[in-house]
Amino acid sequence: MKLYYSPGACSLSPLIALHEAGIKVELIKVDLRSKAMANGGNYLDINPNGFVPALQLDSGEILTEGPAIVQYIADLAPNSHIAPPNGTLDRVHLQEALNFVSSEVHKGFSPLFHPALPAEWKAIVLDKLSQRFDYLAKRLEKSEWLVGKQFTVADGYLFTVLGWTVPCGIDLSRWPALVAYRARIAERPKVKEAIAAQ
Ligand SMILES: N[C@@H](CCC(=O)N[C@@H](CS)C(=O)NCC(=O)O)C(=O)O
């Protein structure tokens, strides 16, 4: 399999899932501006939307959308227990968490990476993200992980996007539970490996 990725982007989330699952893949780096791939091709031929991540299976089939990709990876390695089994209510809670991280946090950050973002809009975006962080911090004060009693792919995804508080100049120390959560995940050997692999 091949994972199309860009250092620091949301593709770190499937990379964490792959390391936690013990699955080896070929990494193909993508320049998100030019859409050029490190192996010489045009990434738009892989994903016409131009965004990472994409996972290419050995059959050649391509999967896109981070929340779908991490669940596919987790199901390839059920003994890694990074997703509750399909058909359980906990699996629905995992999908709930992945969707929340995707639509409320990941895409909440996205305007902040746009250089032409007007100041008034930026203030609205930061306020909305603060509300999401308040909610997540309350949850993570009571529970170590987003779903169930152990690390799942939803934690790898939230860890990834919370990392963007640094380049976006958001002071995460306002939410000590989120600082502790990120530190807990950063200590995981497989997460360290994934970060280094980028
Ligand atoms: N809906 C996609 C969004 C992925 C996404 O936003 N990727 C960003 C990096 S974090 C990207 O590649 N942006 C470059 C672009 O959109 O051209 C998913 O959830 O996988």
For residue 107, the domain's CATH number is: 1.20.1050.10
Atom of ligand 1 nearest to the CA of 107: 6
Strand 54-56 relative to strand 2-5, pairing: antiparallel
| Ramachandran angles phi, psi of 53, nearest 5° | -90, 160
Q: Is the CB of 66 under 6 A from ligand 1?
A: yes
Query: For residue range 158-185, what is the model confidence (pLDDT) as tens digits?
Result: 999 999 999 999 999 999 999 999 999 9
The verdict on 108 and 167 lying in the same domain is: yes
What's the CATH number where 48 sits? 3.40.30.10
Using CA positions, which residue lies closest to atom 9 of ligand 1? 9
- Whole-number Å distance, alpha carbon 51 to ligand 1 midpoint, is 4
Model confidence at 111, pLDDT cuts 50, 70, 90, reads: very high
The verdict on 10 and 70 lying in the same domain is: yes
Mutate to test the pocket of ligand 1, among 4, 6, 10 (most ligand atoms within 8 A of CB): 10
- Whole-number Å distance, alpha carbon 142 to ligand 1 midpoint, is 31
Give the pLDDT of residue 104: 98
Model confidence at 90, pLDDT cuts 50, 70, 90, reads: very high
For residue 53, the enclosing domain spans 2-80+193-197
Using CA positions, which residue lies closest to atom 13 of ligand 1? 51
Average pLDDT value for the chain: 97
Query: For residue range 65-86, what is the model confidence (pLDDT) as tens digits?
Result: 999 999 999 999 999 999 999 9
- Whole-number Å distance, alpha carbon 17 to ligand 1 midpoint, is 17
The verdict on 56 and 116 lying in the same domain is: no
Using CA positions, which residue lies closest to atom 15 of ligand 1? 51
The verdict on 128 and 174 lying in the same domain is: yes
The verdict on 41 and 106 lying in the same domain is: no
The verdict on 103 and 68 lying in the same domain is: no
Give the pLDDT of residue 33: 95
The verdict on 72 and 101 lying in the same domain is: no
Model confidence at 37, pLDDT cuts 50, 70, 90, reads: very high
Closest C-alpha among 113, 132, 127, 109 to residue 178? 132
The verdict on 99 and 184 lying in the same domain is: yes
CB atoms within 10 A of CB 27: 15
Rounded Cα–Cα distance for residues 74 and 159 (Å): 17
Number of domains comprising the chain? 2
Give the pLDDT of residue 98: 98
Mean of pLDDT values over 144-149: 97
Give the pLDDT of residue 34: 97
- Whole-number Å distance, alpha carbon 99 to ligand 1 midpoint, is 14
Model confidence at 95, pLDDT cuts 50, 70, 90, reads: very high
Give the pLDDT of residue 147: 98
- Whole-number Å distance, alpha carbon 106 to ligand 1 midpoint, is 9
Alpha helices, DSSP H only, in the chain?
12-21, 66-76, 89-100, 107-109, 119-142, 153-162, 176-186, 189-197
Give the pLDDT of residue 102: 98
The verdict on 104 and 158 lying in the same domain is: yes
The verdict on 113 and 167 lying in the same domain is: yes
Q: Is the CB of 112 under 6 A from ligand 1?
A: no
The verdict on 62 and 100 lying in the same domain is: no
Mean of pLDDT values over 84-97: 98
